[in-house]
A and B are shown apart, each in its own frame.
Chain A
């Protein structure tokens, strides 16, 4: 149909936008298989640039440690999404034990003045390790409270002197077929990739974890080095990082690659924006001493309860468009 013909269609024959959108939602839901994935429309435009909003150290510190009941070490280390070791929740705790985490080096490059491949030890040398007790909200609708050990991401990134062209930071997970049995199946377009806008990456809450509960990070939790971005869905917190790149354009990210209609680049926790296939209004909290048979279902909070700290990053942004 030519544009001229299209213009002649009476208004009544054109599908109402609401109906059309609903249809797209349903289609998106049907396209659960990666092969059937729809090309994303939501993010064809470049995401908005970084904001200039700054938060005070006190404001930031208020988000560092939550007093909520923590999830047990056992649960944190046996219930993992780490598809490189299998797609079952308990697969990583069994299959990841053989992952060689030492020696480990990270290749840092892109738009920075001091690129280089450095050992994990050198990467974090001199930065005082701290503990952060963060909520972790999975896009699947469950959440945990985890005491991480590690260093602020910004402190590490600054060592490489990113230039003004560094608008985003891209992260890559190890993809070693020999050590990672899950790689044999393309549940993800390997390697796993994630990314943050530079202001998100430099935010005081963005964290690089090397341990949890005061112990070295177990392999299934992303040893020896993983990202923790507590105001975003868990899949943004990429595990077992081998590369960090400063880039000018929005980088590819694993889940957005698979299903752009379901997983946005930002993926901020937001109870008001549902995943196309399920609600994000509430979550099941896996924590506490009561029987997990009756685990609490609690309301999900905007930015996973870190709105005081991070809402400024997204001032003026339509969070429905930039989900």
Chain B
């Protein structure tokens, strides 16, 4: 079985696929993955081009404060990809397309990729020589504390995203990867707390996250109710 079919771990869809016979990736799936890779890399490609122009000509369309723009752009895409990753399960349920799950790991890893670049931009371009400030900032500034915590919590998820780790961790893999909910909340908070007064943009992300987490809470509640009503009919299931 190719690695990507089991990125869903203990998910019910994964259980279904684990029972399926060994098969080769279809041409359609390869093409679809290539498209998702291309889309996920587009923001960083555009940014890289603008940074190159900024470096060569002094005007790359990044504004008067390119450092702030680079940080903001990378951070925004990390958050967007995180929310897109969290939208995979509800979308699969809604559309009845189990193969959507095969994109979840790569989307999650792209969220980590952008979050790491965001952190790197802060450390290298923003703080510049003020390395001593790093610890003070992480401890004293709530928005940096939660942002850094979000990135730190993403690390174990990225590390355990391999097929081998999924197998090794078994049930605990699903439990560990529930951290993504906390990470998403921290990421939205990180954005919210840096805004001075125009909260519309962070509010939009907070609303999307509320829907995504609300859907999971509702499903969990429905399952518990079904389990109470007829214990025999309730199958252990977990919505990632």
Which A residues fall within an 8 A CB radius of B? 26, 29-30, 32-34, 71, 74-76, 78-79, 83, 87, 89-90, 140, 142, 185, 187-188, 258-259, 274, 277-279, 281-282, 284, 286, 291-297
Contact status of A293 and B65, CB under 8 A, knowing A140-B196, A277-B194: no
Residues of A within 8 A of B199 (CB): 32-33
Given contacts A89-B63, A89-B65, A292-B66, contact A187 B197 (CB under 8 A): yes
Which residues from chain B contact A79 at a C-beta distance below 8 Å?
63-65
Do A279 and B68 form a contact, CB below 8 Å, given A29-B143, A33-B199?
no
Tell me the minimal C-beta distance from A230 to chain B in angstroms: 19
Determine whether the beta carbon of B54 is less than 8 Å from that of A291.
yes
CA distance A89 to B196 in the complex (A): 13
6 CB-based A-B contacts, threshold 8 Å: A30-B142, A284-B68, A284-B126, A293-B54, A294-B125, A295-B66
CB of A292 within 8 A of CB of B54, answer yes
Query: Using Cβ atoms and an 8 Å threshold, which residues of chain A touch B24?
Result: none
7 closest Cβ contacts across the A-B interface? Answer: A79-B64, A75-B64, A87-B198, A297-B128, A187-B197, A29-B142, A187-B198
Q: Which residues of A contact B67 (CB under 8 A)?
A: 284, 292-293, 295
Do the beta carbons of A286 and B197 come within 8 Å of each other? no
Partner of A286, one of B58, B65, B133, B194: B65
Cβ proximity bits B58-75 to A, threshold 8 Å, 1 near / 0 not: 100011111110100000
A32 to B55, CA, bound (A): 35
Binding site for A on B (CB under 8 A): 51, 54-55, 58, 62-68, 70, 125-130, 133, 136-137, 140-143, 192-200
- The answer to whether A142 and B68 touch across the interface, beta carbons within 8 angstroms, is yes
Residues of B within 8 A of A90 (CB): 63
CB of B66 within 8 A of CB of A277, answer no
- Nearest Cβ on chain A to B189's Cβ, whole angstroms: 9
Pick the contact of A278: B65, B141, B192 (CB < 8 A): B141
17 extra interface residue pairs, beta carbon distance < 8 Å, beyond A278-B141, A286-B65, A296-B128: A30-B142, A32-B193, A89-B64, A142-B68, A185-B200, A278-B143, A278-B194, A279-B133, A284-B65, A284-B67, A291-B54, A291-B55, A292-B64, A293-B51, A293-B55, A293-B70, A293-B125
Q: Known interface pairs A32-B193, A89-B64, A292-B64. Does A281 touch B133 (Cβ–Cβ under 8 Å)?
A: yes
Residues of A within 8 A of B133 (CB): 279, 281-282
A296 to B141, CA, bound (A): 22
Chain A residues with CB under 8 Å of B54's CB are 291-293
Check B142 against A277 for contact (C-beta < 8 Å). Answer: yes
Residue ID in chain A nearest B203 by CB atoms: A33
Distance between B140 CB and nearest chain A CB, rounded to angstroms: 8
By beta carbon, the residue of chain B nearest A89 is B63
Report the minimum CB–CB distance from A133 to chain B (whole Å).
Answer: 18
Which residues of chain B come closer than 8 Å to A78, judged between CB atoms?
Answer: 63-64
- B136 partner residues in chain A, CB cutoff 8 A: 279
The docked-state distance in angstroms from the alpha carbon of A90 to that of B70 is 15
Give the chain A neighbours of B62 by CB distance below 8 A: 292
Chain A residue contacts of B125, Cβ below 8 A: 293-294
Interface centre among B126, B137, B193, B197 (most CB of A within 10 A): B197
Residue of A nearest to B57 (CB): A291
Chain A residues with Cβ below 8 Å from B143 are 29, 277-278
Which residues from A are CB-within-8-Å of B58? 291-292
**Interface contact B130-A30, CB-CB below 8 Å:** no
CA distance A259 to B140 in the complex (A): 20
Bound Cα distance from A295 to B66, whole angstroms:
9
Which residues of B are found within 8 Å of A83, using beta-carbon distances?
197-198
**Residues on B with beta carbons closer than 8 Å to the beta carbon of A89:** 63-65
Give the distance in Å from the alpha carbon of A29 to the alpha carbon of B51 in the complex.
33
Chain A: minimal CB distance from B180 (Å): 23
Name the residue of chain B whose CB is nearest to the CB of A287.
B64
Q: B137 → chain A, closest Cβ, in Å?
A: 7
A29 to B130, CA, bound (A): 24
**Chain A: minimal CB distance from B109 (Å):** 27
Q: Is B130 a contact of A282 with CB atoms below 8 Å?
A: yes
In the complex, what distance in Å separates the CA atom of A102 from the CA atom of B141? Answer: 45
Residues of A within 8 A of B51 (CB): 293
Provide the residues of chain B in CB contact with A286, threshold 8 Å. 64-65
A282 to B133, CA, bound (A): 10
Write the chain B residue with the least CB distance to A140: B196
Give Cα A26–Cα B142 distance, bound, in whole angstroms: 7
Q: In the complex, how many angstroms separate the beta carbon of A173 from the nearest chain B beta carbon?
A: 15
How far is B70's CA from A284's CA once the two chains are assembled, in angstroms? 14
In whole Å, how far is B201's beta carbon from the nearest beta carbon of chain A? Answer: 9
Q: How far in angstroms is the closest Cβ of chain A from B48? A: 12
**Closest beta carbon of chain B to A22's beta carbon, Å:** 10
From residue A97, how far is it (CB to closest CB) to chain B in Å?
Answer: 18
